[in-house]
Amino acid sequence: MSGTIRAGALLLAVLALAALLGPWLVSAAPDTVSVEHMLAAPSAAHWLGTDMLGRDVLSRLVSGGRMTLLVGIGVVALAFAIGVTVGLVAGLVGGVLDWALMRLTDALLSFPALVLAIALAAAFGPSLSHAMLAVALGLAPHFARLARAQAQAVGHALHVEAARAAGVPPGWLLRRYYLRGALPTLVTQASLSLGTAILQVAALGFLGLGAQPPLAEWGADMSASLDCLRSAPWVAAAPGCAIFLAVLAFNLMADGLTAARDSRG
Amino acid sequence: MMAMLFLRRLASALPVLALVLVLVFALARIIPGDPAETTLGPGATSQQIAALRHEMKLDQPLAVQFTAYAGQVLHGDLGVSLKTHRPLREALAAKLPATIELAIAATVLALALAIPAALLAALNPGGWIDHALRVIAIAGVSLPAFLTALALQAVLGAWLDWLPVALRQSPWASMPPITGFAVVDALLRGRIDLLGDALAHLLLPALVLASFLAASFSRLLRASLIAVLQSPHVRAARARGLSRRAILLRHTLRNALVPTLPIIGIQFGDMLGGAILTETVFSWPGLGRLTVDAIHNRDYPAIQAATLVFAAIFILVSILIEMIALWLDPRLRKEGGA
């Protein structure tokens, strides 16, 4: 196992542990407003200080972390489900359907990823679930292309041609051979997408198109604290650095995974 | 020759371009509520709404609506802003140079950082420099653009007061645009002070965008360089007694750049997305800033038009990059063109 996988896994474990044990680690609730303690500097009572509404920054960080990890996994799972279904069906059926689905994929990939996510999120209306759907729709074409390529490779394998000749129904073929054959590559792609997913959802939150207040979400928390950036930089720095560390953890692991895959040939 | 290739490539992209237009058209239909009601606001009478619905062809079948929309776009009509009630084409044309200038500056900066870094790493793969650059690159692609932007703004701008942190020009330097590109305009006017002012404003936002591009591109180029180093012509050069440095610079770099070009195209798209965040933080009066303002104003035609222009830039740049690859490597022309 390479150094980057280990470093990434360690970082991720620390973050996940903090997110899981968070409620027991921090005393204050993430949305307890306290006017007397507005913009308090880091201290023993509030390790990372408080924000413009007197809410404990650390507790919002931990609560936002739980959300971020779930959101990242949720977005990739959604992109996986949509993209892989489209890709495998295109590869299995072929013909006009394949052509149409792949041109649609090309068209979606013709938009800069974040631009597409922003446009979709703006059209759906601002909310966390809409932002997740928007980012997932932007990531899905990558899964579709990969799944189709895998499906075509699998489709030409002798045992699959034999199964088709023996009259195995398409639904069965899809699950038993195509999905199973394509899975290893697709899972690697999914791990590569986690960092991107978190980064994009945070960007939408930062632009006001994701999670809405008072929900604790790192991107939205960061943009909410911009007005007090000079007097209380810790309020924006904490969620900003947290996004960086979470994405870094996933990207370190993805780098290690890609290196392992490439060296295997 | 190249013009023919370009036209052929553009023609092959036509079905996709048409679908892009369909998707942007569909954006306006995803929005909850009726576009005519949204346009007129809450105080409109039902007659006004019906009249506008007819004018906007909303009472026609979707296919007719789309044909009308596509016809408009092909004639360069991008619709009218709900906020300013002025044609969006003017607004976008005024903002476009700022974004293109930023993107070009960021690309130049990214290449200036990434090529030396990749060469250094490939000089001794697995060495400590290679490892250090790898870790820096992974960190670079993990940084949210808005965090980098705010950090640079806070440290280099507000705290050290070295560089301006907002807009494209100082108030004193504001002049009617000639081309709209601040750097080009300064050169056309022959004013060094204007040029310095424009470059100082450009540096921080360009650096934010460049950091992401440089990080991913340097790793890609390193891998490509190492692959080319295994090829026979490099072995021949080594047999002639050339140093590793001379081989890298003269016999490897050009070949190694070709396979990385398509990926640069994809990353250029990521950079355009990053430009939206960067422009927001630096109050950069470009396309990204316009998009974010449009979102806050619920100006859906403006969001639609900006999305279309972003996609058009991305597609054009991708084709341009393919052309550069063909120019660098004539072998590709036979395979791809025939």
DSSP 3-state percent helix, strand, coil across chain B (nearest 5)? 80, 0, 20
Is residue A25 a part of any domain in this protein?
Answer: no
- Domain count for chain A, please give it: 1
**What per-residue confidence (pLDDT) applies to A189?**
86
How many interchain CB pairs under 8 A, A with B? 139
- CA dist B271 and B221 (Å) reads 18
Rounded to whole angstroms, the Cα distance separating B170 from B192 reads 14
pLDDT score for A120: 93
Report the candidate in B216, B229, B219, B220 with the shortest Cα–Cα distance to residue B255: B229
What is the pLDDT, as a whole number, of residue B290? 94
Percent of chain A with pLDDT over 90: 37
**Chain centroid offset of residue B168 CA:** 17
Give the CB-side neighbour count of residue B192, counting CA atoms within 13 A: 0
DSSP per-residue codes, B118-186: HHHHHHSTTSHHHHHHHHHHHHHHHS-HHHHHHHHIIIIIIIT--S--SSSS-GGG----SSS-HHHHH
Which residues of chain B have a CB within 8 Å of the CB of A115? 269, 272-273, 276, 291, 307, 310-311, 314
* Nearest by Cα to B28 from B69, B61, B87: B69
Q: What are the residues facing A50 on neighbouring strands? A: A56
Work out the angle at residue B178's Cα, subtended by the Cα atoms of residues B173 and B183, and round it to the nearest 5 degrees.
55
B241 conformational bin, left if phi > 0, alpha if psi -120 to 50, beta if neither: left
Q: Long-range contacts for A163-168 (Cβ within 8 Å, ≥24 apart)? A: none
pLDDT of residue B334: 65
Alpha-carbon distance of A90 to A99, in angstroms, equals: 8
Residues in chain A within 8 Å Cβ distance of B30 = 120, 123-124
Q: Which residue of chain A comes nearest to B299, CA vs CA?
A: A122
pLDDT score for B222? 92
B14-39 pLDDT per residue, tens: 888 889 999 999 887 787 777 777 77
* Per-residue pLDDT at B337: 43
Q: Residue B20: which of A107, A125, A226 has the nearest Cβ?
A: A107
Q: How many CB atoms lie within 10 A of CB B237?
A: 17
Task: Report yes or no on A70 lying in a domain.
Answer: yes
| Whole-number Å distance between alpha carbons of B295 and B292 | 5
A169 half-sphere exposure, CB direction, 13 A CA radius? 2
- Confidence (pTM): 0.88
A226 interaction partners in chain B (CB closer than 8 Å)? 150
Structural contact between residues A125 and A208, judged by C-beta atoms closer than 8 angstroms? no
Q: Is residue A36 part of a domain?
A: no
Q: Which of A174, A184, A117, A118 is nearest to A151 (CA)?
A: A174
The partner residue sitting opposite B277, judged by closest CB among A106, A203, A251, is A203
**Is A35 within the bounds of a domain?**
no
Question: What pLDDT was estimated at residue A265?
Answer: 44
HEC readout, chain A: CCHHHHHHHHHHHHHHHHHHHHHHHCCCCCCCCCHHHCCCCCCCCCCCCECCCCCEHHHHHHHHHHHHHHHHHHHHHHHHHHHHHHHHHHHHHCHHHHHHHHHHHHHHHCCCHHHHHHHHHHHHCCCHHHHHHHHHHHHHHHHHHHHHHHHHHHHCCHHHHHHHHCCCCHHHHHHHHHHHHHHHHHHHHHHHHHHHHHHHHHHHHHCCCCCCCCCCCHHHHHHHCHHHCCCCHHHHHHHHHHHHHHHHHHHHHHHHHHHHHHHHC
Minimal-distance CA residue of chain B relative to A237:
B147
The answer to whether residue A133 is domain-embedded is yes
Higher pLDDT: A240 or A264? It is A240
Residues of chain B predicted below pLDDT 50: 336-338
Q: How far is A207 from chain B (nearest CA, A)?
A: 7
Which tens digits make up the pLDDT trace of A201-233? 999 999 999 888 888 889 888 888 887 777 777
**For position A78, which CATH number holds?**
1.10.3720.10
Residue A198: pLDDT band (50, 70, 90) is very high
With CB atoms and an 8 Å threshold, state whether B295 touches A118.
yes
Please judge whether A240 and B146 are an interchain contact, meaning their C-beta atoms are less than 8 angstroms apart: yes
pLDDT of residue A264: 58
| Type of residue at B329 | D
C-alpha closest to that of A138 among A113, A104, A112 = A113
Whether A146 has a pLDDT exceeding 50, the answer reads: yes
Residue A33 placed within a domain: no
Q: Return the pLDDT at A142.
A: 93
Q: Do A112 and B303 touch (CB under 8 A)?
A: no
Q: How far apart are the first and last CA of chain B?
A: 13
Minimal-distance CA residue of chain A relative to B311: A111
Residue A31 pLDDT > 80: no
In this complex, which of B32, B138, B271 lies closest to A252 when CB atoms are compared? B138
Q: Tokens 């047999």 identify what position?
A: B239
Cβ neighbours for B28, distance < 8 A, ≥ 6 positions apart: A123, B35, B300, B301, B304
A-chain CB neighbours of B16 within 8 Å are: 103, 106-107, 110
Q: How far is residue B167's CA from residue B153's CA, in Å, rounded to a whole number?
A: 12
Q: Would the CB atoms of A4 and B269 count as touching at under 8 Å? A: no
Say if residues A57 and A46 touch (Cβ distance below 8 Å). Answer: yes
pLDDT, residue B305, reads: 93
> Mean pLDDT, to the nearest integer, of A246-263?
85
pLDDT tens track for B159-207: 777 778 777 877 777 777 878 888 888 888 878 888 888 888 898 999 9
Residue A187 contacts residue A201 (beta carbons within 8 Å): no
In a domain, A30, yes or no: no
Task: Establish if A38 belongs to a structural domain.
Answer: no
The predicted complex's ipTM stands at 0.86
Q: How many CA atoms lie within 13 A of B175 on its CB side?
A: 17
What phi and psi values does residue A56 have, to the nearest 5 degrees? -70, 120
- Residue A210: list chain B partners with CB under 8 A: none
pLDDT value, residue B336: 47
Question: Are B273 and A103 inside 8 Å of each other by CB?
Answer: no
Chain B residues with CB-CB distance to A107 below 8 A: 16, 19-20, 22-23
Range of the domain at A187: 3-20+54-264
Q: Name the residue among A118, A203, A255 with its Cβ closest to that of B144.
A: A203
Residue B46 confidence (pLDDT): 83
